[in-house]
Amino acid sequence: MIKSKWSYLALFIFIPVMYGCNSTHVSTLPTYNPRKPQPVVVPYGVRKELDQFKIRPWKYIVIHHTASDSGDAASIDRYHKEKKGWVNGLGYDFLIGNGNGSRDGQIEVGNRWNKQIDGAHAGNPEYNKHGIGICLVGNFDNDQPTNQQISSLLYLINYLQKRCNIHKDNVIMHKTFRKTVCPGKHFPYDKLLAQLK
Ligand SMILES: [Zn+2]
């Protein structure tokens, strides 16, 4: 009898400890809630990078997703150099983080924008040459972009529309011109367009 009482006591102690350990590894991605617009904080360094040079005559803004849960400019740059063999690395002009890799809503400025050279994001020469590629980290076939990602995207598109004189009809998704799901079926394109001028 005494032995089995001790066994029960051991169960009471160990079960909560086991579950406590497991629950610390559970994480969920924040989801896009259009009713809660978030303020965008664009660091001075990013503004400086955006403003610093003469730009090419861009015609389009092309929106992508990474189709991955995490990533940042450095890791995708490495992937594009090493796996795709692209000497200029990161195929997009801009990357917007989701908190898994870079900060949620963080705008990273790519080398191709800084050098004003062709992109490698469209799979189509016209849109690589004349389209500014913005990629959001995430897989929007499964999730939605975060509020911060959408706020940063709006900020960046507004900026680029003014700077490069791009009409909102030319703010398009990758799947607008190519057979791909990119940027995913949950990307809120119509809501985004409704907020552009
Ligand atoms: Zn794409």
- The token pair at 123 is 């799979």
Domain ranges of the chain: 41-194
- What's the angle, vertex CA 98, arms to CA 44 and CA 133, rounded to 5? 70
* 74 burial level (CB within 10 Å; 0-12, 13-18, 19+): middle
Cα of 184 vs centre of ligand 1, distance in Å, is: 9
CATH superfamily, region 41-194:
Peptidoglycan recognition protein-like (3.40.80.10)
Cα of 174 vs centre of ligand 1, distance in Å, is: 5
The Cα 184–Cα 144 span in angstroms is 9
Cα of 92 vs centre of ligand 1, distance in Å, is: 9
CA distances from 195 to 42, 52, 60, 79 (A): 19, 27, 17, 33
Contacts of 35 (CB under 8 A, 6+ apart): none
Cα of 17 vs centre of ligand 1, distance in Å, is: 44
Cα of 76 vs centre of ligand 1, distance in Å, is: 13
Cα of 195 vs centre of ligand 1, distance in Å, is: 22
The structure's pTM equals: 0.78
Average pLDDT over residues 29-39: 53
Cα of 126 vs centre of ligand 1, distance in Å, is: 15
Question: H or E element: which one contains 13?
Answer: helix 2-23
Greatest mean pLDDT among 26-35, 46-55, 133-142 lies in 133-142
pLDDT at 50: 79
Higher pLDDT pick, 12 / 160: 160
Is the pLDDT reported for residue 103 higher than 60?
yes
Average pLDDT over residues 39-67: 84
pLDDT for 93-102, tens place per residue?
Answer: 999 999 999 9
pLDDT for 145-156, tens place per residue?
Answer: 999 999 999 999
The Cα 131–Cα 122 span in angstroms is 8
The Cα 25–Cα 109 span in angstroms is 31
Cα of 40 vs centre of ligand 1, distance in Å, is: 24
